[in-house]
Structure 1
Amino acid sequence: MKIGLDDVVAAETALSHVDGEAGRLIIRGRDLEELAGQVSFEEAVATLWEGLVPDISEDPRCLLGRARVRAFAHLAPLAPHLSGLTPVEGMRLLLAALPDAEEDHASLAVGAAAVAAAMAVRGSRSLPAVAPDASAGHAADLLRMLRDAPVEDGEARGLDTYLVTVIDHGLNASTFAARVVSSTEAGLLSAVVAGLCALKGPLHGGAPGPVLDMLDRIGRPENAEAWLDAAIARGERLMGFGHRIYRVRDPRADVLKGAVARLKGADNRIAFAEAVERTALEVLERRKPGRRLDTNVEFYTALLLDSLSVPREGFTPLFAAGRSAGWAAHTIEQARTGRIIRPQSRYVGPRPAEAA
């Protein structure tokens, strides 16, 4: 028996494949590097949803733009209830208010995830919700709704690259949760909410924020080696380094590193973080010889979103905004099997007394 279902095949999918040994992420037959930074989020959604969502290939930008407007009409009345909730809790509240019976439920889920992410982050700070612009690109509109300020083209491209990078990643915990709910015929929106609930856990979706906490504690490049050495000596994990699946470099990290480099400027911490990264890799090689602990997607996610002025408590909601397209695709794919996911467990509790 494999505790945690490690290496157990629980589904067949045509959506994505994670090859940890080779350091590859394949999305519908294409390497991630062919999509992220090369096509818009809307185009990546169309690629992922091909054969699953009938209207997605016609004009995905218009489809998702209309979905954001429809979602805002559903969600705007709930804005007063977001105060006092964390952004993830607020996003959960908003998405749970959507009806499963709504038409075009896949596009509505992705549009709603963007609207809910922005609303929840702003609501947690007692700021008013910002209405979407159906004519804008998905990434640009998400960032504008979040900040209530104009978005530069370079910033929109940076967020676009991020959303594509996290659009799908095999049968991870949140995607599996979504597929389990889908297998009960509960509905697509319910499955997406389940995915978000799984993503809320710090072992899955909450890691990029602590990367910035680590950089805050290091403070200056010249402090990095001593701080990192001391952290390893205390048995602490260096946030943003190593990955459970990838035995070589995480391909998502390479894509986001390029996006981060294009945003480097005097008013962000990218140059400092790059210096810390170089030192961390040297310290890890010296302190943990024989182990491949490369920079992972969390490190560059933190730098990218921080440079876009996304507050660190908003990192997980933005992750969910991108991953919602993958959850929707897996939900539809799972529903087509017509089978409920129902694994077995091994009972290890006490037995009733045997009759004499």
Structure 2
Amino acid sequence: MKLSRIIKNKIIFKNNYEKCFIIGSSPSKNARSPRLWNYVYKKLKIQREMYPADLEKKNIRNFFKIIKKDETFKGLLITIPFKEISLKHVDKVSLSISRINSINTIVKKKKLEAFNTDYLGALESLKKIKLKKKNQKVLVVGSGGTGKTIMHAVNSFLTNSKIYLLNRTAGKSYKILNKFKSQKKNSFFHIKKYDDIFKIDKFDLLINCTSVGFDNWCKRKNLNINLKPFSPLSPIKKINGIKSKNLNLFMKKNKLIIKENQKITEKFLKKNKKIKVFDVIYNPVETILLKKARKNSIKNLNGLYMNLVQAAKAFVLVNGLGYKKVLNIMKSYG
């Protein structure tokens, strides 16, 4: 089977170049890592190229069959929604990865070995936002692949702290939290309803691990919706989709829903005046959540730094170069 038959975007491969890929639902449109990696390859005159591959879930198995046989393939980055399902197709997983159950990097030597550099990027982001290491109260929103990774990073970073998980699927939250509750390092709690975040006083950190706020069009009932105008601190229901991809029109049709959503965010931030806000999204650079934080003079951080660190760490794993050298080159990209 040819790769061109299972990916949605067109790829033109460079002759005599080794290959790396990044897979997800639409990395050809949104992923930053290919630009960073290819910039380093060009700077260091390495004959490798990273290619974005837009995949559907039904084609993930065939994709792995193809890359396992391809002798020019060297490494893979994984984005939403394949960070968990890709585990089924690797040959080697470390103990730390098996705990997280989510991966974002695969290195091909003789076999496929899985890593999670998102975890390392998250740890560095917690340091950058200057979170204290003890007696903190943290609210994590979202329990997908990124959410689970963030939870592990927060648990590793903190001691004697309270970590709350807010997720729309209760069963998934309990499954994640049960893995942590046997540990005595921190205390973990599930928030059942969005309104319950107002019953808890003085959070020290809020982390958004959802796609709410991300500038990307997706289909719902054959109509287009975009989550960019929303914050993740309230349920988003009854969104009015549109036939086109006109953001102004979309916002106009959802004016009341957006207004209520943002009102709840304002209320939460005013109640938690000393909170820090970390949003893993970096497109846009400033989400609605971060805009509201800035307007309320709240220290905040987007996902660009986490993305930069994870991209550099992953590059080192695949290509075997020094981390500081790679990081500095990637920083110079802008």
Structure whose residues are more often helix by fraction = 1
Q: TM-score range by the shorter chain?
A: 0.3 to 0.5
Q: Relative contact order: is structure 1 or structure 2 higher (C-alpha 8 Å, sep ≥ 6)?
A: 1
TM-score normalized by the length of structure 2: 0.33
Structure whose residues are more often strand by fraction = 2
